[in-house]
């Protein structure tokens, strides 16, 4: 799926956050800089800002999630917004209500933002095209297409440790084929001018023509890890796989699992990342996941600041466009 211009207004301001594609270096840097300014909120005695006081944000998750949904909820509450978590498993959607009908009914409750996760690629864009003009839509993951807020928290974490993007060598390892995280992260790293982006996976877990994304492809983990600055591990997404793409999880770990010995091939100060949930002993060894190179829990913490930044930027631009006080 290509870039969607609907997320920008005529002045190039961010009204929705649906995909990394089509955004500029300035868009990403504004989000990262805003997130940096918000990161310290969690260390205050009162962990709140009045930025979105009076706004209502609806978490609309059609797929299971822990980290993403809870960090979106915390981000909204720290900006003083009211939050509604819609439980899809017990909602009218399971009774056959269409996505558009669900949208219209929640709109009638006078909300200001939808945070949406859906199994269908393009679902967030569909919603953005049908919401009322004052409502912002944030994509919390749609099918195999995109997970833009995860990409932003990943590059935010990288920038805090290694800000010189043009001189970085970054490896993304594992199930590239089914990973919306990988797609969005590759786009974000490219826009920020990362020096070299590598993908490491068996042929069955790589998209066709993945080289068109501007990455170098490696089928051998030790070769691909050599001298990298950042290692991003991905989980095997069994729920999205059709057919026998892998002989077994044990064999995958033998060939592509990140161990201390394999990590030693990267640079001595390399950082290890993972969007979660972690499958220990499948894509990563516990000694690495819990080791000194790991910034996995830091990614979770950073996710709150990044999602706060995106919420405040998009709703701020909606307020400017409608002429109301931001």
The DSSP secondary structure of 240-303, one letter per residue, reads G--S-S-S-HHHHHHHH-B-HHHHTTS-TT-EEE--S---BTTTB-HHHHTSTTB-HHHHHHHH
- Pick the catalytic residue: 68, 71, 157, 314? 68
- Pick the catalytic residue: 147, 169, 180, 274? 147
Lookup result for tokens 């991905």:
234
| 95 is annotated as an active-site residue | yes
Q: 53, 312 in Cβ contact below 8 A?
A: no
Largest CA distance in the chain: 58
Residues 6 or more apart whose CB falls under 8 angstroms from that of 109 comprise: 56, 58, 84
Residues 6 or more apart whose CB falls under 8 angstroms from that of 248 comprise: none
| 51 is annotated as an active-site residue | no
- Pick the catalytic residue: 39, 69, 78, 117? 117
State the Cα–Cα distance between residues 14 and 32, nearest whole angstrom: 14
| 3-class SS of residue 34 | helix
Query: Nearest-CA neighbor of 276 among 163, 147, 186, 118?
Result: 147
- Pick the catalytic residue: 45, 90, 95, 203? 95
| 117 is annotated as an active-site residue | yes
90 by Cβ neighbours in 10 Å (0-12 / 13-18 / 19+) ranks as: exposed
| 27 is annotated as an active-site residue | no
Q: 231, 177 in Cβ contact below 8 A?
A: no
Phi, psi of 303 (to 5 degrees): -60, -35
Alpha carbon 170 to chain centroid, angstroms:
17
Q: Where are the alpha helices (DSSP H) in the chain?
A: 25-38, 67-78, 99-107, 123-130, 148-161, 180-191, 221-225, 249-256, 260-263, 286-289, 296-322
Both tokens of 109, joined, read 């409750």
- Pick the catalytic residue: 13, 67, 267, 287? 67
| 259 is annotated as an active-site residue | no
Q: Which residues are known catalytic residues?
A: 67-68, 95, 117, 147
């Amino acid at each position: 799926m290509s870039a969607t211009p609907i997320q920008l207004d005529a002045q190039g301001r961010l009204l929705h956050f649906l995909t990394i594609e089509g955004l500029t270096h300035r868009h990403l840097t504004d989000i990262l800089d805003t997130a940096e300014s918000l990161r310290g909120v969690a260390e205050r005695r009162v962990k709140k800002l009045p930025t979105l006081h009076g706004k209502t944000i609806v978490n609309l998750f059609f797929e299971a999630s822990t980290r993403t949904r809870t960090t979106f909820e915390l981000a909204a509450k720290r900006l003083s917004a009211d939050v509604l978590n819609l439980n899809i498993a017990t909602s009218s959607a399971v009774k056959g209500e269409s996505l558009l009908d669900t949208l219209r009914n929640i709109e009638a409750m006078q909300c200001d933002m939808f945070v949406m996760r859906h199994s269908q690629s393009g679902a967030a864009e569909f919603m953005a095209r049908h919401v009322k003009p004052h409502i912002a839509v944030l994509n919390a993951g749609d099918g195999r297409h995109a997970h833009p807020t995860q990409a932003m928290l990943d590059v935010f974490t990288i920038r805090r440790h290694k800000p010189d993007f043009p001189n970085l060598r970054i490896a993304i390892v594992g199930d590239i084929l089914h990973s919306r995280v990988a797609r969005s992260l590759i786009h974000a790293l490219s826009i920020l001018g990362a020096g070299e982006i590598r993908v490491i996976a068996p042929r069955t877990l790589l998209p066709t023509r993945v080289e068109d994304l501007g990455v170098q492809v490696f089928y051998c983990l030790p070769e691909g890890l050599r001298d990298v600055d950042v290692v991003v591990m991905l989980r095997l997404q069994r729920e999205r796989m059709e057919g026998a793409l892998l002989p077994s999880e044990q064999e995958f770990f033998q060939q592509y699992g990140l161990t201390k010995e394999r990590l030693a091939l990267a640079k001595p100060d390399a950082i290890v990342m993972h969007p979660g949930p972690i499958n220990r002993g499948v894509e990563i060894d516990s000694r690495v996941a819990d080791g000194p190179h790991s910034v996995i829990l830091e990614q979770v913490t950073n996710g709150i600041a990044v999602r706060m930044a995106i919420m405040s930027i998009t709703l701020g631009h909606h307020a400017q466009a409608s002429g109301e006080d931001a």
